[in-house]
Amino acid sequence: MWQTAIIVAAAVILEVVQLHQSKAQSQDAIRFRGGAKHPKTPPLPSVTITPTELTEYHRDGFVLKKGLLQGEELSKLMDSAEEIYATANHQKDANLPNFFKKLTFDLWRRKDEFAQLAFENLPSVAAEFLGVGDAYEMINNEDNNNNAHEKEETIRILKDGFFGFQQKNNTGCGFHVDDKIFWPASYETTGVNFWIALSPMRIQEGGGIRVVNQSKVEPIFEECRQAITNVGERGYSPTCDMEEVSPECHEKMLEASVVFDMEPGDALIWDRWTFHRSEPFRPVPEGERSEEHQCDDPSAGADGDDYRLRYTIRYVPGKAKAWGRHHPSQVTGETFDSPYYPQVWPSVLKSEMKSIQKGLED
Ligand SMILES: *[C@@H]1O[C@H](CO)[C@@H](O)[C@H](O)[C@H]1NC(C)=O
Ligand SMILES: *[C@@H]1O[C@H](CO)[C@@H](O)[C@H](O)[C@H]1NC(C)=O
């Protein structure tokens, strides 16, 4: 998203902050379901994706999946999210502009509950959206030994991100497709993003996410992508500033987009090239506030710190090539081959899991 020079510099500071945290935390190895040291392979399917949902995804660039996460799994993630929101302090330390109050990456290798989500719950779902063959056929088909083919049929974690979006001080990010910081893979490769609500999100209150129906913006896609990618006089890409750099694109995106009421655990699943933006908060008159955000709601504290939490995790096919701001262990322009971008489908790799268990340094 944000490619300003300031942000790039700030992000470096941010990573130093994270370095200290991760060193402290990497003592405790990630543990999976049942306390196992490795995720069960092949990962178990967690939810059913219908043919209609797949059709919608391919036509519109996104699909809303209600209740993707539920039960204890979800409540653990929500508790963890509240803790991260309360304790992480990245933006302030890094002096970032006020897009989001809390932003942190790499939870999949820092926290058990996010690791379970990233390695166990979602890979089989990602496989369906990325169309990497019939999941179950693959697992059962031992003859599938053609290397080139195999490469096509793997999936890796590209990146995750936790966002705390605060009503008072934050602007969020305008319509954009992810830039080279948030999507460090080459342009020609595809991918799928799971955007998961960890707070209730109400259309009338704002604070959620808006996605653009890609079937309606095909003719202007490239022009609008260029508008927020071209560096121009500023010296940086105005990833979050479409409204300012191209009011026309902004208007058209607004017309072609939708926003949903979402419960914690609901997910928007979208394609790597789907435009989206943070939905600004709206002042809601006292009497019309939804129940979960009445004054006894923890997300609307006494200081008026009303906020919405979300987690996003992005997966790419094994043939995706690294590009942009990726980890130094990975060669630019080559297919991903680093525990920082671990294979999760059809199985994890022992060597990568070993490195992850040891605790990856930043
Ligand atoms: C997206 O737009 C198409 C028409 O281009 C429409 O058929 C479809 O219902 C829209 N999808 C959503 C989720 O609104
Ligand atoms: C908003 O930002 C200002 C200035 O940085 C800070 O003093 C204030 O505490 C913030 N408000 C909340 C609710 O966090």
The bound ligand whose nearest atom lies closest to the alpha carbon of 96 is: 2
For atom 9 of ligand 2, the residue with the nearest CA is: 303
Ligand 2 atom closest to 303 (CA): 13
Q: Is 294 in the pocket of ligand 1 (CB under 6 A)?
A: no
Domain ranges of the chain: 5-358
pLDDT in tens, 227-285: 999 988 888 889 999 999 999 999 999 999 999 999 999 999 999 999 999 999 998 76
pLDDT in tens, 42-92: 566 678 999 999 999 999 999 999 999 999 999 999 999 999 998 875 644
Give the CATH superfamily of 5-358. q2cbj1_9rhob like domain (2.60.120.620)
Residue 290: predicted pLDDT: 60
| Residue 296 banded pLDDT, cuts 50, 70, 90 | very low
Give CA–CA dist 172/170, Å, rounded.
Answer: 6
Give CA–CA dist 49/94, Å, rounded.
Answer: 40
Q: Which residues contact 260 (CB under 8 A, 6 or more apart)?
A: 64, 201, 203, 208, 266, 268
For atom 4 of ligand 2, the residue with the nearest CA is: 169
Output the six-digit token pair for 162: 């936790």
pTM: 0.86
The bound ligand whose nearest atom lies closest to the alpha carbon of 166 is: 2
Please confirm whether the linkage preceding 346 is cis (ω < 30° from 0).
yes
The yes-or-no verdict on residue 299 having pLDDT over 60 is: no
Give CA–CA dist 116/120, Å, rounded.
Answer: 5
Residue 357: predicted pLDDT: 86
For atom 2 of ligand 2, the residue with the nearest CA is: 169
Of 25-29, 113-117, 125-129, 141-145, minimum mean pLDDT range:
141-145
pLDDT in tens, 89-115: 564 434 456 788 888 899 999 999 999
Instruction: Give first-to-last CA distance, the chain, whole Å.
Output: 21
Q: Name beta bridge partners: 105.
A: 161
